[in-house]
Amino acid sequence: MKPLAHYIPNSITLLNLLFGCVAVIFALRGWTSFAGYCIFMAAVCDFLDGLSARLLKAYSDMGKQLDSLADMVSFGVAPGVMLYQEMYRILSPRITMGFDTVGWELLMFAPFMLTLFSALRLAKFNIDVRQREGFLGLPTPACALLVAAFLMYARNHAALDPFINVWSILGAVAALSALMVVNLPMPAMKFKGLAWASNKSRYVFLLLCAAILLFTLLTEEDFTLTIVLIILSYMVYSLGLYVVTLFKK
């Protein structure tokens, strides 16, 4: 019989799934902030289940598959529903229930393209041995956190309303969907030691995150902006590392 400690990682993964389910319900009710907080908590659980598995040496194939299923709900379905609700809010005044607005009705479901590509991303990650030390493409938790944090920030800043429209949402969905499956190397924040040489890119990014955090604290901005800026910086930083690597070759 396995020690009780071996069940801890899977229990945390199930908690991730629970937060994801609640996030979907809150999103359907239009409670953007509550849905966003649930996605944040799911991301914390996603980090802790991997950490606990490493510390307890409680790896298992079941845990790996369970993690992907939980991530699919928390970081695939939940952000898709949040963006669907935004599209519904924008397009519902144009819907007349007649044939002349069928196109607008169908367009409301476009955000679920993010959900479909999240599934592709997770399936690809499970079978791609190249992603043991880093990532190829934007991880689904980062994508979901970006969506949730931006929508939460925008909800509290009316000045952003003109920029949240059908075409900006479609553009964001298309860009994020492509980033999740493209073969762009992105560093994982997994330290195997403290040596500068083997962790230089990670240390530089952590310094960048610290600068962003300091900026948002000094300007008294909402923490959601911190998350948005950090994830956008992660994407740009990864692209920069890739370009530098290509030039070196």
Whether 206 and 160 map to the same domain: the answer is no
Overall residue count recorded for the chain in this entry: 249
Whether 11 and 49 map to the same domain: the answer is yes
Measure the CA–CA gap between 177 and 111, rounded to whole angstroms: 10
Whether 123 and 222 map to the same domain: the answer is no
The parent domain of residue 194 ranges over 190-249
Whether 221 and 126 map to the same domain: the answer is no
Whether 148 and 198 map to the same domain: the answer is no
Amino acid at the residue 86: E
Whether 109 and 221 map to the same domain: the answer is no
Q: Which of 165, 183, 201 is the last residue of a domain?
A: 183
Whether 93 and 202 map to the same domain: the answer is no
Measure the CA–CA gap between 68 and 53, rounded to whole angstroms: 15
Q: Which of 183, 214, 240 is the last residue of a domain?
A: 183
pLDDT at 60 over 80: no
Average pLDDT over residues 103-120: 91
**What per-residue confidence (pLDDT) applies to 194?**
62
Question: Domain tally for the chain?
Answer: 2
Measure the CA–CA gap between 36 and 217, rounded to whole angstroms: 21
pLDDT grade for 131, boundaries at 50, 70 and 90:
low
Supply the DSSP symbol for 195: -
pLDDT grade for 53, boundaries at 50, 70 and 90:
confident
Whether 26 and 144 map to the same domain: the answer is yes
Average pLDDT over residues 72-97: 89
- For residue range 32-50, list pLDDT tens digits in order: 999 999 999 999 999 898 8
Average pLDDT over residues 148-161: 89
Which of 140, 142, 172 minimizes the C-alpha distance to 154?
172
Q: What is the rounded average pLDDT for all residues in the chain?
A: 87
What distance separates the 2 farthest-apart alpha carbons in the chain?
65
Whether 109 and 214 map to the same domain: the answer is no
- For residue range 162-213, list pLDDT tens digits in order: 888 899 999 999 999 999 999 888 887 766 656 666 677 778 888 999 999 9
Average pLDDT over residues 107-126: 92
